[in-house]
Amino acid sequence: QSTARKAAETVVLVIDDEGIETLMPELLRGVNDSQASMRRGSAYLIGFLFKNSKLYLADEAPEMMSTLITLLSDTDKATVSAAWEAFSRVVGSVPKEQLPTHIKLVRDAVSTARDKERRRKKGSPVLV
C-alpha cells in the first residue's frame, strides 16, 4: 500500500496544466466511490496535490472544497480524517485575498452535507 501511495504521489506531482483536466474528474469520482479505501485515498491525493503542486489550482478549489465537505459526514472515520486534512490543504492553497469569495460556497456545502446526514440518520433516501 505504501508503494502504491508513493506511485500515486509521483504521478500527481508530474501532472501539468493539461493533465489536471483529466486528473480532477478522476479524483472526484474516487471520493464518491462505494469503497471507503477509494474515498480515503482520493481525499488524500487531493490534499497532497493542493499542498505540493506547483500548478495554479485556485480555480479548482471551489469544487474540491464542496466535495470534501460532503465527505466530512462519511461513515468511515479514517475517510473523514483524510477529507478534513485535504480540505485544510485546499483552503491553504487559496490566495488570502480570494478566501472571502468562498464563504458562501462553504456554507452551502455544509448545509447540503448536514441535510444528507439528517436523511441518512432518519433512514430517508439520500438525494445526490
Would you state the pLDDT for residue 107?
A: 80
Angle, helix 36-52 to helix 61-71, in steps of 10 degrees: 140
Per-residue b or e along 40-78, where b marks 16 or more CB atoms closer than 10 Å to that residue's CB: bbbbbbbbbbbeebeeebeebbbebbbbbbbbbbbeeee
Would you state the pLDDT for residue 110?
A: 78
Would you state the pLDDT for residue 94?
A: 87
Residues of the chain with pLDDT under 70: 124-128
Domain parsing of the chain, residue ranges? 2-122
Would you state the pLDDT for residue 128?
A: 47
Cα–Cα distance for residue pair 84/87, rounded to 1 Å = 5
Would you state the pLDDT for residue 13?
A: 92
Would you state the pLDDT for residue 125?
A: 57
Q: What is the DSSP letter of 9?
A: H
Would you state the pLDDT for residue 124?
A: 58
- Which of 35, 44, 56 is closest to 2 using CA atoms? 44
Would you state the pLDDT for residue 47?
A: 97
